[in-house]
Amino acid sequence: MSEPFVRIEGVAKRWNGQLGVENVSLDIERGSFVALLGPSGCGKSTTLRLLSGLELPDEGNIRIDGNDVTLAAPSERNLSMVFQSYALFPHLTVAENVVFGLKVRRVGKVERAEKLHRALEITGLLGYEQRKPGELSGGQRQRVALARAIVAGQPLCLMDEPLSNLDAKLRASVRRDIKKLQTDLGITVIYVTHDQTEAMSMADKVVLMKDGHIQQVGPPQDLYYEPANTFVAEFVGAPPMALIEAAALTGFDNATRIGIRAEDVRVAADGQGRLNCTVADCEFLGSETFIVLDCPHTTGLTVSMPGLQHIPQGEAMSITFDDGALHFFDASGERIETDSVASAA
């Protein structure tokens, strides 16, 4: 079995005793799109900086394309980076910004021109060559940063929250651009984000982090349908998975908490459901309305109903759900397989 394109083994980074990341191990295949996801301070940007060589680990090893780069300089790692802040030179034109790195490396004029044209064509920036960054929109500036990464021609591209400065419509557009670029160019992308929509829609593999530790690694659907613990369950999904204390339901003695997604909850006839709740809020989203419920021994309980729904706050609502839609967690928050819980029912 061949070695993965990127391998991180037991990496740790601390500052004055304060944890950055601890015991991070991760294999990344060539040509894949991997998202490092998590809340602020979880260690995702630190992991990216360790990969780039902007930080050096206190423990562990990092290998890229079979080479040990643990202590190598960023310039020796054969990678490009796209930053949140674009990092463009304001006094240079679009063309000059894109080929700046090629000039530093003394790439020939003809080759520079060919790579520039190709990168601007891919990013939809042909005709903008002579504009300065101040004359561009936020989305166009980010495309310039992408074009600069493309001309670098490196097989690995690291992206640190590149869309966080864009509005929602632009984010969706540039998100599609980035995914198409990655697919067309066949490069490996490691993408840091706190936005689960970006991670779930773009990545082949999602790495969810919390407090410097990896919580779960897998395809987006695995994190949604088979969360490894209650943190994953509550972080992934909009709305997040609701958690119910097992004592509120009968027949699940092996579990401490039970999870249920909003789409798996149904409204029952008054008093005929498995839980009796009151309506706390209605969130209309166009094609559906999320009804947020207050219910003893539960957190985040929500039911999804089609179209526009007007249900008064405080109105009673009885809900039900199938056992097959439930997720089970032990006292430490770790997932329990359904079979071991069902045996107690």
On the question of pLDDT at 6 being above 90, the answer is yes
Q: Quick check: 48 and 190 in contact, CB under 8 A? A: yes
pTM higher than 0.95, yes or no? no
- Reading the block at residue 42, the tokens are 């979880």
* Residue 138: per-residue pLDDT: 83
Alpha-carbon distance of 196 to 183, in angstroms, equals 20
On the question of pLDDT at 342 being above 70, the answer is no
Closest-CA residue to 290 (of 298, 300, 277, 299): 300
CA of 29: how far to CAs of 3, 113, 188, 221, in Å? Answer: 9, 32, 8, 18
Crossing angle of helices 168-185 and 138-152, in 10° steps, is 10
Please state whether beta strands 257-260 and 327-329 pair in parallel, antiparallel, or not at all (unpaired): antiparallel
Q: How do residues 42-89 score in pLDDT, each as one tens digit?
A: 999 999 999 999 999 999 999 999 999 999 999 899 999 888 777 788
Q: How do residues 108-152 score in pLDDT, each as one tens digit?
A: 899 989 889 988 988 888 999 999 999 998 888 888 988 888 888
Alpha-carbon distance of 147 to 175, in angstroms, equals 14
CA angle 51, 54, 60 (to 5 degrees): 45
Alpha-carbon distance of 182 to 32, in angstroms, equals 8
Q: How do residues 231-266 score in pLDDT, each as one tens digit?
A: 999 999 999 999 999 989 888 878 899 999 999 999
**Structural domains in the chain plus CATH codes:** 6-230 (3.40.50.300), 234-342 (2.40.50.140)
On the question of pLDDT at 175 being above 90, the answer is no
